[in-house]
Structure 1
Amino acid sequence: MNDANYLPDIKNRYFLLNECTVTELYYPSRCLLIEKEKEAYIISGNEKKLSYHARQVLKRFVRSIFHEQGFYSLHAAAIVEQGKAFLFPGKTHSGKSTILLNMSAVGFVPMNDDIVFLKKQANGAIQVESVPLLIQVRKNSDTVLMPEVKDFPFGITTIDPYTNTSCAMEAELSCVIFPTIVTETTLIQEIDQNIAKKLLFATFNAHGRIEISEEFAKLFYTLLSADMYSLEMGNNWNFLINWIHNVANKDDKN
């Protein structure tokens, strides 16, 4: 990654101080996030990065609100087709925002590029919800964006003016797809459950450590029973478009 601010061996740290939760963030600039109950303060020496850190604070509060309603957050992008949610979990720089932008430009309904919330329903289905948070587009994304979104501004901005559609608030889960951006041919294949288990657990913990409970275990293993795929995303976006259409039509018939 060609980014002077990115330090791959440095991880964010969390600790408690006088009944406050203090988070030491390192990317995209070093800052302290201090939280106590429903208040939060950001201490940063870089004004240009404050919008990023403010976005992180917003995600934390949204996450706490959903958690109070029995939802668990997943570090994933999500698009909706025919009322079904397609999840793309992954770590930073795995292609979540790129996939969301490209798929939204060709008619799929965007949900979020970074965080979604899951809850197991009484009928066994998994409900997916989110809020239309701002999307972050990195400068190195222009090599994998389709022509329809080539002029999308870099940095943190909103997706709505570029897709002419509102973000979806809720949908029922269709499948889970773990993406990787590659230069070779696009490839989608089913993923081994043991591999999916490790990847899912990591993405559940990406926004803060998940509290393990009976409800979380029920959700986690129900989610594991869903269709799981790995995606090597090259420049053949039509392949992914057609694949999602086919899965959505199959879900609709079922």
Structure 2
Amino acid sequence: MKEIFLNISGIIGKCVIPRNMLDKFYLDYGCFFIHSREKYDFCACVTKDIGKNIKKENSSFVTRLNNRCYISDSELIFWGRHVLEKEFYLEEFRKYFIALISWILHRDKNMILLHASAIEVCGKCILFAGNSNCGKTSIAMNMIKNGATYISNDLTFLYIEDNKVMVLGVPQKITMDKKTYDYCDINYVVEQDINRIYINPSNQFKIKVSAELNAIVLLSKDVKRNDALLERVNFNEAVARLISKIIHSYKWGFKPYCRDYGYFSVLNRVMKCIEKKVLIYYMIWGKNHFVNYNIIMKQIVENEGRI
């Protein structure tokens, strides 16, 4: 076992994980690694058994891989015979680890988690949101290969700081299928299995964890069209689509034994600040990478002022 400490926006965590998970864990969360600390806010642990801890045994549940999992508002424990299997990290550990992190960041830092990607280009942070398979990864990678800084690919936290909307990225390794990789016309070092391609962003492009949010782009795709459409929309038109991209930790089956800490009041405050401070766009992107990139640069980065 290896003992790892993280600092995620001032939340200190201790993780005790098998050494064979270390490389995967570093790829996803290495930007948060710190030296050991005596005090920490949460603990995540993977072990073969928990001895005679009846309380945790009785409060645990059986996972898809037939392990057992105990999760509370500050602790995550996996144990069982299958915690060392290859698929354990992606199929179980990472999912519930993010659920725990999202809960703690909401509770202690008033953050909300979105299913969205984020990049920064020319000092402006743009968040791409939309339904699954709408092209969040494709558009983000298109921007990155042209010099943008990577913040997050799939999971992005929003919060308010000094009356500004801020993003906190979780710069996990980027996952896509081969068709998407080929379509993006990129040439990075990858790992590959039967169905998926994984890109480790470390040492391949610029990474940033946090930035002030300047624009939100709600995406749709039509890969048969040669042009791209990008237009401003007002907050009232966009809010329902934006809220539908919020991921609550309940989504993963994490129901902490504690109060909800004013979830909707936090959400309301973040949304009101977005309405005042952030430009919102609707985009239909097409098959021409240059056109997609160029329209974002011209209409959002170069021509639009901040509110």
Structure 1 stretch displaced more, 182-191 or 37-46: 37-46
Contact 2:181 2:197 (C-alpha < 8 Å) held by counterparts:
no
Q: Which residue of 2 aligns with 1:127?
A: 166
Q: Which residue of 1 aligns with 2:264?
A: 213
Counterparts of 1:131 and 1:32, CA distance in 2:
26
Q: CA 1:206–1:88 in 2, change beyond 3 Å: closer, same or farther? A: farther
Q: CA 1:232–1:32 in 2, change beyond 3 Å: closer, same or farther? A: farther
Q: CA 1:207–1:157 in 2, change beyond 3 Å: closer, same or farther? A: farther
- Give the number of equivalent residue pairs: 230
Q: Which residue of 2 aligns with 1:41?
A: 78
From 229, 249, 253, the counterpart of 2:302: 249
Q: CA 1:249–1:198 in 2, change beyond 3 Å: closer, same or farther? A: same
Structure 1 stretches of 4+ with a deviation exceeding 6 A read 29-32, 42-46
Q: Which residue of 2 aligns with 1:232?
A: 284
TM-score normalised by the chain length of structure 1: 0.74
Superposition pairs for residues 65-214 of structure 1, below 5 Å?
65-67=104-106, 68-122=108-162, 124-146=163-185, 148-149=186-187, 152-153=190-191, 154-163=196-205, 165=206, 167-183=207-223, 184=225, 185-191=227-233, 193-205=235-247, 208=250, 212-214=263-265
- Give ranges in structure 2 of 5+ residues lacking alignment: 1-56, 252-259
Give the letter for the 2:173 counterpart: L
Q: CA 1:195–1:49 in 2, change beyond 3 Å: closer, same or farther? A: farther
Contact 1:116 1:130 (C-alpha < 8 Å) held by counterparts:
yes
Q: CA 1:86–1:152 in 2, change beyond 3 Å: closer, same or farther? A: same
Contact 1:105 1:162 (C-alpha < 8 Å) held by counterparts:
no
Contact 1:52 1:156 (C-alpha < 8 Å) held by counterparts:
no
Identical positions, percent? 18
**What displacement does 1:186 show?**
2.0
Give the letter for the 1:35 counterpart: I
Give the letter for the 2:220 counterpart: T
Compute the RMSD of aligned alpha carbons: 3.3
- Give ranges in structure 1 of 5+ residues lacking alignment: 1-16
Contact 2:111 2:157 (C-alpha < 8 Å) held by counterparts:
yes
* Bigger radius of gyration: 2
Question: Residues 71-101 of structure 1: CA distance to partner in whole angstroms, max 9, x if unpaired?
Answer: 2111110000133210011232221122222
Contact 2:189 2:200 (C-alpha < 8 Å) held by counterparts:
no
TM-score normalised by the chain length of structure 2: 0.63
Give the letter for the 2:154 counterpart: D
Give the letter for the 1:69 counterpart: K
Q: Which residue of 1 aligns with 2:98?
A: 59
Give the letter for the 1:52 counterpart: L
Counterparts of 1:138 and 1:172, CA distance in 2:
30
Counterparts of 1:235 and 1:168, CA distance in 2:
28
